Structure 1
Amino acid sequence: MTAADSDFADHRALADALTAERPLHALVRALHRISSAPVAVIDLHGGVLVSVPERAEWMAEELVAVSPPADGPVAGCVLRSVELEGEPVAVLAMRGQGASTKLLSFAATLAGIELSRRHAILSGRRELLGQVLEDVISGYLGEQEGARRLLDHGLDVGKPHEVVVGSAEGSPRRLRSYPWNLHTLLTQQNDPHLRTIVDDRVVLVVPEQAGLFVARLCHEHLASIGSNARVGVSKPRAGVRGLRLGYFEARNALAEGYGVHVHRTQDLPTALLIASLEAGVPLRDLSAEALAPLVEYDRKNDTLLVDTLRRYLAEDGDVGATAARLFVHRNTLRNRLRLIEELTGRDVSSPSNYAHFWLATSGLDLHSSANLSSLFERGTVQDD
């Protein structure tokens, strides 16, 4: 066999590996058989993704520290960059200085092709999930249909979940194209958590108590591809409505700036205002969340705190006029207002809180698909 025939056979063996059940593993094994040298694929964090022999030791951190890989040997290895959509995501390493650089370069190209193929499949799934989440967030999908559509993507909204929203200043294309987890690509599995892009923001839906951990990983990833990386985490909720509210909570937490920020209950008015400015957003759901302590107290004690607050706002905070319209003594009204303040943690006489309560009580009166523009078309809050 001539040298040319041998080279062709070697290249053919590497290319055929991509048709195996685990293509990248098969590719590394084929390269090992041809070269008789240890071979590995190492991600840019120093994680050994594939190694043949499996127990071969690699100075992974030292190898990936050279970017791009040098032409000469590094720590006794010859390296080639593995790229995904033009960006280096890993290195292909072969131990020994006598390795065929042309064969190694060809293998690195094939490795990039396989990662791109798998990445395209997962990206397509995320695009479909993104469309469902956008419809959920906008209120276009009701509780039953939304739950069914999300279950098709593996999310059971009957269980509490936390929403993680992240953003970074940079190329939206890079946000979509840069892989988060090469292990996911290699094992041909779905993302460990539901992840997609909504309005150029990363959105992840994770089980209860996993939000902060995932948010930190998300921040690390975003910081590697853009500046001013910010990540917000919602509190856990169940149901389609809970997922919708969680999105606005987490998105509102981004206003805290660089880093990871957990939603604070007192921040809900801002989330309410932001959401209400967006056409199609279910203001009623957000209003119910903002007034939840009062609604729950009224339900348990057969009281009328929400109605009292609504009337007080309709009378522009006039205690005398409000008491007269409710047919109660002024002291009774004052006691109710104090209880409202205790339950909500807000001073009803504060201008910012007054605006918050006005939006919340008004939104509670509207149909679930109403938005702020329809609220202003009404002109005033409904009378009792």
Structure 2
Amino acid sequence: MLTLQTLLQDPALELRPLVPGPPGSLDQPALWLHNTELPDPSRYVRAGEIVLTNGLWLHETTAESFVGHLLTAGAAGLIFGLRKETPRTPDDLISACERAGLPLVEISIKVPFSAVTEAAADIYTEQRQDALVGLVRRGNALASAISHGAGATGVLSVLRREHRLPLVVVDRMGRSLAAADAELTPEQLRTVAGALARRPPPLELDLGDGTTATIFLVSAVSDIDAALLCLRPVAGLSRAEQDALEQTARFLSLEVAKQQAVHAIEQRYASELLDMILSGAQRAAEVPDRLRSFGVDPSAPLAVCALAFAAGEPLPGIADTVTDFFLGHGIAAVVAAGSQDVVAVLPWRRAAAELAVLAAELCDAVRRRFPDQRPVAGLGELASSAAELRRPLVQAREACRLLRRRSDQSVAAFAELGTHRLLLGLQDQETLGGFADTVLTPLREYDRKHAGELERTLRVFLANDGQFGTTATQLYVHVNTLRNRLTKIAELSGRDVTRTEDRVELFLALEADAMR
């Protein structure tokens, strides 16, 4: 580091301190050297520069004025070069520097200023070389930590060998991936997630309680996938610390990308398990092995829990929250994210009533993670083994779907709710689809060719429990027009909406089509 002190330590420069300045002044980092003979160099001297001069300005201005201009510019110190005309440093210059608190150093008449510049360049070169060597060594250590599976925690440990900083790695979902000498509250984690969602994200973040964090972005698969947070303001970090943090953030992108890839594979495998279960006998033989791969005993009694938010589709991160919940309870579970819910399959050897208690705790954990959402959880009956999972899965999902429409209940088993959709869900999908197509395709073909609204008319009519007046009002048509449409529906489908049996079939066809 270039300072007046490092220059004084070089005997070849023959420097002699005359005014040390305030304590620590000689050790202050210097920006560079500035050679000047101007009476007022304040417009050209940069803050932090060491000024070199032979005093040729002494015939044009006073030492007091010259030193005052250096203070205005923010000079780090003054080196006065002796020459034949001034074999010793003027007393008034020494006095002016003492009064101003500006460090003053005298250089021998035999040493040119170019020698000082060369010495400063050597110091900078050595400093830069040390920094590059440190960068390479740190990079090797970081790469080794990742290749040996040390994870984000191992990456932070490499950084902390050089810099004892409070650090946290947080992903864009607000989950803490690793920490060192720091811990964020759930509210602070949500604050970080919100900051990472901004475009562009802030470089500093107020975490409350007087804590300011500097953010170093981590980009992996997406634009911004995580952040390395140092719980200090950027002004409190040295250049070396900032460089080390930026390098560590780049290596963390490799670790985060690896975690995301593993997570994506696990999610795909979990989602495939649901497809296997719903396929019934066609893929039943594959289910036990897939459960074992997740640490779930396929021969044990199994429970199925479906969780969703009451409003809208699942937010990103809900599946991870559910997984973390079961891990925290020491329960091996397969957690798969569907288009409308998240399903967990887990071993359960206790009473069904205790499962409802666990599901309520799960809802509470998800609510804490997503405070603006209302989670609901549906439960199916217990399956004696993997071969019996299809029915509980359909039950749990249907119970969850029904709970989304209720505001008075967050957890329920299907046995408490019961619905026709369970019967549909237990049918073969191909058979179910064929039934729906048989009933609805003639209506859709007619609508396509004649720009009609037979299918919409049927849906509104059934939704209004067969009330002609209400349906006609909603469709903005006359009751006679409605009757004509219903007659055409009966003609095309072979089912009369005025007969209970036929009305049930039409309703089930619409429901089966929706379930597809």
TM range (shorter): 0.5 to 0.7
Q: 2: distance between equivalents of 1:179 and 1:264? A: 22
1:19 matched residue in structure 2 = 147
The alpha carbon displacement at 1:156 in A equals: 2.0
Residue in structure 2 matching 1:205, options 311, 328, 345 = 345
Residue in structure 2 matching 1:256, options 395, 403, 409 = 403
Residue in structure 2 matching 1:216, options 339, 360, 363 = 363
- Closer, same or farther in 2 for the Cα pair 1:88/1:269, shift >3 Å? same
Say whether residues 1:164 and 2:305 are aligned partners: yes
Q: 2: distance between equivalents of 1:61 and 1:149? A: 34
Looking at CA atoms only, which structure, 1 or 2, has the larger radius of gyration?
Answer: 2
The alpha carbon displacement at 1:217 in A equals: 6.2
What amino acid maps onto 1:117 in structure 2?
Answer: K
Contact 1:219 1:231 in 2 (8 A): no
The alpha carbon displacement at 1:275 in A equals: 0.8
Say whether residues 1:98 and 2:226 are aligned partners: no
- Closer, same or farther in 2 for the Cα pair 1:13/1:181, shift >3 Å? farther
Q: 2: distance between equivalents of 1:265 and 1:192? A: 25
Residue in structure 2 matching 1:71, options 195, 198, 203 = 203
Show the 5 A alignment for 1:132-171: 132-141=273-282, 146-167=287-308
What amino acid maps onto 1:112 in structure 2?
Answer: S
Structure of greater relative contact order (alpha carbons < 8 Å, 6+ residues apart): 1
SS at match of 2:162: helix
Q: 2: distance between equivalents of 1:279 and 1:95? A: 54
Residue-by-residue CA offset, 1:288-320 (whole Å, 9 max, x unaligned): xxxxxxxxxxxxxxxxxxxxxxxxxxxxxxxxx
Q: 2: distance between equivalents of 1:242 and 1:144? A: 12
Q: TM-score, normalised by structure 2?
A: 0.44
What amino acid maps onto 2:135 in structure 1?
Answer: F
Identity of aligned residues (%): 17
The alpha carbon displacement at 1:247 in A equals: 0.8
The alpha carbon displacement at 1:27 in A equals: 0.9
Contact 1:78 1:93 in 2 (8 A): yes
The alpha carbon displacement at 1:255 in A equals: 2.1
Q: TM-score, normalised by structure 1?
A: 0.56
Q: 2: distance between equivalents of 1:182 and 1:159? A: 21
The alpha carbon displacement at 1:62 in A equals: 7.1
Q: 2: distance between equivalents of 1:241 and 1:62? A: 43
Say whether residues 1:279 and 2:429 are aligned partners: yes
Show the 5 A alignment for 1:248-327: 248-253=394-399, 254-257=401-404, 260-276=410-426, 279=429
Say whether residues 1:126 and 2:258 are aligned partners: no
How many residues matched?
Answer: 279
Contact 1:139 1:281 in 2 (8 A): no
2:334 matched residue in structure 1 = 194
Residue-by-residue CA offset, 1:6-53 (whole Å, 9 max, x unaligned): 46324444344322331312210111123233333356898765333x
2:132 matched residue in structure 1 = 5
Gaps of 5+ in 1: 283-350, 360-371, 374-384
What amino acid maps onto 2:386 in structure 1?
Answer: V
Residue-by-residue CA offset, 1:136-155 (whole Å, 9 max, x unaligned): 22213476654345334432
Residue-by-residue CA offset, 1:341-375 (whole Å, 9 max, x unaligned): xxxxxxxxxx99xx89xx9xxxxxxxxxxxx99xx
SS at match of 1:140: helix
Residue-by-residue CA offset, 1:216-249 (whole Å, 9 max, x unaligned): 168549958x977554222322223432111111
Q: 2: distance between equivalents of 1:238 and 1:87? A: 45
- Closer, same or farther in 2 for the Cα pair 1:27/1:78, shift >3 Å? same
